[in-house]
Amino acid sequence: MKKIVCFTIDVEPDFGGLLPSDSYYGVANLSRLAKIVSKYGIKITAFVTGKTLEDNFSILKVLDEMNAEVEQHSYGHQVGHEQKLEDIDRGIKTHERIFGKKPYGYRAPQGIITHKEVRALEQYGILYDSSIFPAFFPGRYNRTSFPSNPFKITNSGILEIPVSVIPKIRIPIGLSYIQLLGFSTFKLLFSLFELPDILIFHFHTYELGKVQSYFELPMIAKLGYLRAQRLYRDPLKVFEDFVRYILQRGYEPKYMIDLYREILPVANEWNWKE
């Protein structure tokens, strides 16, 4: 099977709601990211919250310069389930108002989504979801029973495209984990357990640089982000190293919507039970 990589970025308030109020220092990193996109000819799918678009309308120009596929990430990054349905509705309507069309894809804040919310996405005409991390995150989710490859959800028109994990050990393949464990560690794990043929790489705007809003985090969260934000290398250099590493291994960059169209006819069906 040919190898495909989708680089997906969540464009949202810094640290996804952990701060006392919304800060957007991270969106300044998009212009630096654009240079890497141009240099290597990669493709970016951006899952953007509606409120981020409203608060930072100028980012549309940078996303356009990157030829990014822009999809939905809710409106205000709410994670409570009843409130999330309202957030999904408002986010999709904001997207449609700004872009003149409905989004094709959706990613839930923090990767937390229920079957109920997936059914709601279908009612809005969403084609694919990319919320599932088929891994274990303490206090947030345990999705280790979920498939790690794209799958059609039984009795649904939605294709789920999970964020990629290292086979067998199910460590998510994303910039935050690479910054936490080190790229050399990841390269060792790739050599031991290989890489998936379909690679969905995940990162956030605030992970692409050392942002001032880090100092506003609660103490526990500050310790969690200490290595990535203050002790490790320039995050965009790490990202560029990963891009070079993946392209050298023959991966073809694609937008998520193009992957959806290619995978849908051959994807296995899976019964999502809550």
| Structure tokens given for 191 | 């050599």
What pLDDT score was predicted for residue 116?
87
List, for residues 184-229, the tens digit of each pLDDT value: 999 999 999 999 999 999 999 999 999 999 999 999 999 989 999 9
Cα 139–122–146 angle (5° rounding)? 40
Closest by Cα among 15, 73, 4 to 204: 15
What pLDDT score was predicted for residue 81?
63
List, for residues 238-273, the tens digit of each pLDDT value: 999 999 999 999 999 999 999 999 999 999 999 987
What pLDDT score was predicted for residue 83?
80
List, for residues 30-86, the tens digit of each pLDDT value: 999 999 999 999 999 999 999 999 999 999 999 999 999 999 999 998 766 668 899
In terms of Cβ atoms closer than 10 Å to its own Cβ (0-12, 13-18, 19+), residue 215 is exposed
pTM for this prediction? 0.96
Q: 111 near 163, Cβ under 8 Å?
A: yes
Is pLDDT of 126 > 80? yes
Query: pLDDT-derived band of residue 17, with 50, 70 and 90 as boundaries?
Result: confident
| CATH code 3.20.20.370 for 4-269 | yes
Query: pLDDT-derived band of residue 166, with 50, 70 and 90 as boundaries?
Result: very high
Q: Three-class SS string for the chain?
A: CCCEEEEEEEECCHHHHCCCCCCCHHHHHHHHHHHHHHHHCCCEEEEECHHHHHHCCCHHHHHHHCCCEEEECCCCCCCCHHHHHHHHHHHHHHHHHHHCCCCCEECCHHHCCCHHHHHHHHHCCCCEECCCCCCEECCCEECCCCCCCCEEECCCCCEECCCCECCCCCCECEHHHHHHHCHHHHHHHHHHHCCCCEEEEEEEHHHHCCCHHHHHCCHHHHHHCHHHHHHCCCHHHHHHHHHHHHHHCCCEECCHHHHHHHHHHHCEEECCCC
Is pLDDT of 174 > 80? yes
